[in-house]
Chain A
């Protein structure tokens, strides 16, 4: 059982219960317009450009040859160029997928962090689910089904209320 403060004493809410003054730095998904930064385009761009250049050079070279055996090496070079081009595209997509996955992870963390306040929100909004209650003249916090509350009109308590728990229903 956790006692927050002595009953009957007028104490302001603890510092820790107040919301933080400034929100944590937002995830990149909120600030950047695209999953890709400029720096991410360097390697895929180099590979794609290299692939196109190699393909063109190989095509020009093998077009001049009339013997099949002399063309084979340039044909292989053209295929390698195409491979470099495709590899650049695959890298580009992998980086994008990674950034989107990180974005979802950041969003999930933000949700968990912000939904921490959801525990306090029902207290603020009338009619929401509240764990502990009390009644006029009572100095302790009770569960809604506590026997000591029978016949009394109860009111919900905020989660940071500093009154001690009822000894009857605390361990129930």
Chain B
């Protein structure tokens, strides 16, 4: 139960999308039943608005919520890659610092290089 609640909390946008989609379908069905129950246009129009238009709006809200959830996933993936990149950068930076320190120490300890050359 705790796991389910945690999942619902983390995936609130997908849960909202599913709820909106179900509500939209129910609204469309109710609108259809209400509209088909009368032959007068003036009595059908309120069902068209409360059932049809509202159902379409709820389905649109479900789509928006679901795509928002996908975008949030994409954003989390970006953050994960960026964090990996930063760790790699820090690692290379420390390696490079260590190398430069060692190279400077080596050159200072070696003193002036010999003048004789065997190449070019």
Residues of chain A at the chain B interface (Cβ within 8 Å): 7-13, 17-19, 23, 26-27, 29-30, 33-35, 51-52, 55, 58-59, 62-63, 65-68, 71, 75, 78-79, 82, 85-86, 89-90, 92-93, 96-97, 99-100, 103-104, 107, 110-111, 114, 117-118, 120-121, 123-125, 135, 137-140, 142, 148, 158, 166-168
Nearest CB of chain B from residue A65's CB, rounded to whole Å: 7
Q: Mark B67-101, 1 if CB is under 8 A from A, else 0.
A: 11001101100110111011011001101111110
- Taking CB atoms, residues of chain B closer than 8 Å to A114 are 85, 88-89, 92
* Given A62-B49, A121-B92, CB of A35 within 8 Å of CB of B75: yes
* Given A13-B103, A100-B78, CB of A138 within 8 Å of CB of B118: yes
Residue contact B75 to A55, C-beta cutoff 8 Å: no
Residue contact B99 to A82, C-beta cutoff 8 Å: no
Q: Mark B31-48, 1 if CB is under 8 A from A, else 0.
A: 000000000011001101
* Given A29-B79, A100-B71, A100-B75, CB of A110 within 8 Å of CB of B85: yes
Nearest CB of chain B from residue A129's CB, rounded to whole Å: 16
Nearest CB of chain A from residue B74's CB, rounded to whole Å: 5
- Alpha-carbon distance A142/B113, docked complex (angstroms): 18
B112 within 8 Å of A (CB atoms): yes
- Taking CB atoms, residues of chain B closer than 8 Å to A97 are 71
The closest CB in chain A to the CB of B41 belongs to A68
Residues of chain B at the chain A interface (Cβ within 8 Å): 41-42, 45-46, 48-50, 53-54, 56-57, 60-61, 63-64, 67-68, 71-72, 74-75, 78-79, 81-83, 85-86, 88-89, 92-93, 95-100, 103-104, 107-108, 110-120
Residue contact B49 to A75, C-beta cutoff 8 Å: yes
Nearest CB of chain B from residue A50's CB, rounded to whole Å: 12
Residue contact A30 to B86, C-beta cutoff 8 Å: yes
Nearest CB of chain B from residue A71's CB, rounded to whole Å: 5
- Alpha-carbon distance A17/B99, docked complex (angstroms): 12
The closest CB in chain B to the CB of A95 belongs to B71
A8 touches which of B74, B115, B120 (Cβ 8 Å): B115
Residue contact B107 to A12, C-beta cutoff 8 Å: yes
Please name 10 further chain A to chain B contacts, defined as beta carbons within 8 Å, in addition to the given A51-B57, A96-B67, A107-B85, sorted by A numbering: A13-B100, A18-B97, A29-B79, A100-B71, A103-B75, A117-B89, A124-B96, A135-B119, A138-B117, A138-B118
